[in-house]
Amino acid sequence: MTAAILLNAAGTSVQVFEKSRGPGGRLASKRTSEGGVDIGAQYFTVRDQGFRALLDQYAPDSFQPWQANLVLERPAGQLQPFAEDARYVGVPRMTAVSRTLSEQLSIDYETRVAKLSKPDGTGRWSLEDTEGTQYGPFDLVIVTAPPVQTRDLLANSGLDALNNEQVLAAAVMLPCWAVGIRLSAPLAVNFDGLQPAAGPLGWLARDSSKPGRKAASEWWMLHATPEWSAAHQDAAPETVQRVLVDAFRAQNAVPDEVSVTETVVHRWLYARSADTEAGPGHLWFAEEGIAVAGDWLAGGRVEGAYLSAAGLIQQWREHGVIAAP
């Protein structure tokens, strides 16, 4: 969406193809009886001034600061505050940011592109989805799928040589099981988010502490560690829910009289990048007219997705691929 917005601002016509029913990928929430609970990215930073400008211009009312007490558990059990930083969340749920940004764009939803080709001899790209429908022609293509899906798309398109690019060939995304739970009574702890030192849980957060949430009950989001998620990737959701809820109860000494009254479960096959280094930001194959962008090329994080796309569009401007706005 960042790439498309910046290209539109430069006077370039853009069509976005999204395989899901809605925008945002891991800026995701699931509906519950009391609204929604954030199952993907839990918050985001806004350190880059360009990112701030994009949000302020195109989605100014969709996010607010999360004034949360976030802590790390050390091996000996003591709790250490997260480093100070301004952290933001979508309001009333994380999807508000992506849905607001998407209003600026032309997007074909539930359309999974399976193949790229240049069939007419003009050097322009045609896209084919999994149903065999053709789209185009297009002068340039930006692929923003996770690396596994990007490699599959390029291979299906006879572009195996691009997959040999070192960063793309080596990129790995880690899985994550996510479980949201509603409690029958508030939990008596003095933090809103915790990163446990050991066990199957890698993160737990009081989702109802985020601004704009209207749930009458207390909701918590539990994320399993990448290691546990990978080892139990094909486990039944009921099994995952039981293990993570039991770990949550043990971690926080939840009294027996406090029960879990509602749950949501989601498996992320590609939750976050295994490489948290800055990376190249994006990949641009000028001869083919194909670019690859995504947070996994810019150190992960929500803000990394913006930085990846913004860096690509800036390169295109500097090299005359597109006109300056």
Whether residues 88 and 233 share a domain: the answer is yes
pLDDT the model gives residue 163: 96
In tens, the pLDDT along 37-87 reads 999 999 999 999 999 999 999 999 999 999 999 999 999 899 999 999 999
Which of 32, 5, 12, 15 is CA-nearest to residue 217?
Answer: 32
Beta carbons within 8 Å of 3's beta carbon, 6+ residues apart = 14, 142, 144, 293, 309, 312, 313
Residue 257 has pLDDT above 80, yes or no: yes
Residue 325 has pLDDT above 70, yes or no: no
Inter-residue contact 15 to 142 (CB < 8 Å) = no
Domain membership of residue 182 (yes or no) is yes
Inter-residue contact 45 to 301 (CB < 8 Å) = yes
Task: Report the C-alpha gap between 11 and 4 in whole angstroms.
Answer: 11
Domain membership of residue 25 (yes or no) is no
Whether residues 185 and 261 share a domain: the answer is yes
Inter-residue contact 68 to 192 (CB < 8 Å) = yes
Structural domain count, the chain: 2
Domain membership of residue 13 (yes or no) is yes
Residue 2 has pLDDT above 70, yes or no: yes
pLDDT the model gives residue 79: 95
Q: CA 154, 157, 162, 164: dihedral to nearest 10 degrees?
A: 70
Confidence band for 34, pLDDT divided at 50, 70 and 90 = very high
Whether residues 162 and 246 share a domain: the answer is no
Which of 15, 63, 28, 10 is CA-nearest to residue 267?
Answer: 28
Domain membership of residue 106 (yes or no) is no
Q: Treating both helix axes as pointing N-terminal to C-terminal, what angle do 49-58 and 2-9 enclose, rounded to 10 degrees?
A: 80
Domain membership of residue 159 (yes or no) is yes
pLDDT the model gives residue 148: 96
Whether residues 190 and 309 share a domain: the answer is no
pLDDT the model gives residue 70: 98
pLDDT the model gives residue 121: 80
Tokens of 45: 């930073």
Length reported for the chain? 325
Whether residues 116 and 249 share a domain: the answer is no
Tokens of 60: 């100014």
Looking at the chain, list the stretches that DSSP marks H as alpha helix, in order from N- to C-terminal side: 2-9, 49-58, 95-102, 147-156, 160-163, 166-170, 226-231, 237-252, 302-318
Residue 286: give its domain's CATH number.
3.50.50.60
Domain membership of residue 76 (yes or no) is yes
pLDDT the model gives residue 1: 97
pLDDT the model gives residue 125: 97
Whether residues 185 and 165 share a domain: the answer is no
Beta carbons within 8 Å of 164's beta carbon, 6+ residues apart = none
pLDDT the model gives residue 10: 93
Domain membership of residue 324 (yes or no) is no
In tens, the pLDDT along 293-309 reads 999 999 999 999 999 99
Task: Report the C-alpha gap between 31 and 37 in whole angstroms.
Answer: 7
Whether residues 166 and 184 share a domain: the answer is no
Inter-residue contact 287 to 140 (CB < 8 Å) = no
Task: Report the C-alpha gap between 15 and 182 in whole angstroms.
Answer: 39
- Over residues 91-111, the mean pLDDT reads 96
pLDDT the model gives residue 275: 86
Whether residues 245 and 291 share a domain: the answer is no
Whether residues 134 and 225 share a domain: the answer is no
Residue 136 has pLDDT above 90, yes or no: yes
Whether residues 180 and 314 share a domain: the answer is no
Residue 215 has pLDDT above 90, yes or no: no
Q: Which residue has the tokens 């006879």?
A: 158
Whether residues 69 and 86 share a domain: the answer is yes
Q: Which DSSP symbol is given to 44?
A: B
Higher pLDDT, 278 or 65: 65
**Residue numbers of the domain that contains 136:** 2-19+111-171+280-318
The β-bridge partners of 174 are 272
Whole-number average pLDDT of the chain: 96
Task: Report the C-alpha gap between 289 and 233 in whole angstroms.
Answer: 36
Whether residues 241 and 180 share a domain: the answer is yes
Task: Report the C-alpha gap between 92 and 4 in whole angstroms.
Answer: 25
Residue 181: give its domain's CATH number.
3.90.660.10
Domain membership of residue 213 (yes or no) is yes
